[in-house]
Structure 1
Amino acid sequence: MNETADHALSPQDCLVMLMIAVSVSDQTIRTSELIKIENQVNTLPIFGQFDIDRITVLSKTVYDLFAHEDGLDALFGLVRENMPEKLNETAYALACDVAAADGTIREGELRLLEEIRDELNIDRLHAGAIERSARARHMTI
């Protein structure tokens, strides 16, 4: 299959894969989304020990998964197996930031965010706060 299948995924890998999934969810990967992912990986403490070169491998894994009808379910299965629940809100916040990075959250991104929220059991009140903070951080004049 691919290199990721030969190695267990780290929690950070799962976070990156969810961010990539949001970026590709509307069929167009925007530069602002890629920059957002790279900036998150380069600056957030959760990624302190993460090898940024893994992004290429993880991107290929997401593309390969999404080429199959049940790819999203497979992605969520990998996340459930390899990411502790305590990172669920972090994962959702990162996904929201990627969706908001270009100033417009498109329908495909909204649908995927809803599925991520449901899959990660994010409480509606917490989800609303996370979504609002992402909007506030990415507001333009």
Structure 2
Amino acid sequence: MPAQDTSSPSMSGQDALVALMITVSASDATIRTSELLTIQSIVNHLPIFAGFDEDRMEAIAQTVFDLLEEEDGLDAIFGLIRDALPDTHFETAYALACDVAAADGTVFQTELELLREIRYEFEIDPLHAAAIERGARARHLKL
């Protein structure tokens, strides 16, 4: 019987997107209600999450929290996402990350640093990143 790899759980593409959004929310050590509501709204309304089992969110969040406590946890999260998502969806992942970061009306320094790391890890074109960021900013402006 072959040995199983138990080093890290595998994820579906949908799981990976949720994990990234949770990672962004947790990046400033405070998970805000507005961020959770944004994640929930995204999962409930975007076609990419059609058929997603929302009961998985708690397990995905726990995986993220467990990994973030490890020394190279963020790298592990990026690895899981890279394994689960085709590179054609990296910009989508970045857009969702930007929406979560902008959800509470303030993008904190730790969130900015994480977004920079996401751009680097997933090789997001700088012009595309700027457009994605501008769209997130426009969607989350308050009157």
Scaled to the shorter chain, the TM-score interval is: over 0.9
Question: Where do 5+ consecutive residues of structure 2 fail to align?
Answer: 1-5
In 1, Cα distance between equivalents of 2:142 and 2:50: 29
1:58 corresponds to 2:89: no
Counterpart mapping for 1:75-94 below 5 A: 75-94=77-96
In 2, Cα distance between equivalents of 1:82 and 1:98: 20
* Equivalent residue number for residue 24 of structure 1: 26
Report the number of matched residues: 137
Note the C-alpha offset of 1:80: 1.2
* Correspondence for 2:113 among 107, 111, 114: 111
In 2, Cα distance between equivalents of 1:84 and 1:52: 22
* Equivalent residue number for residue 140 of structure 2: 138
Question: Where do 5+ consecutive residues of structure 1 fail to align?
Answer: none
Which amino acid is 2:42 matched to? Q
Q: Percent of counterpart pairs with the same letter?
A: 61
Runs of 4+ with deviation above 4 angstroms: none
Please provide the CA RMSD for this pair.
1.2
TM-score normalised per structure 2: 0.93
Structure number, greater radius of gyration? 2
Which amino acid is 1:28 matched to? T
* Equivalent residue number for residue 3 of structure 2: none
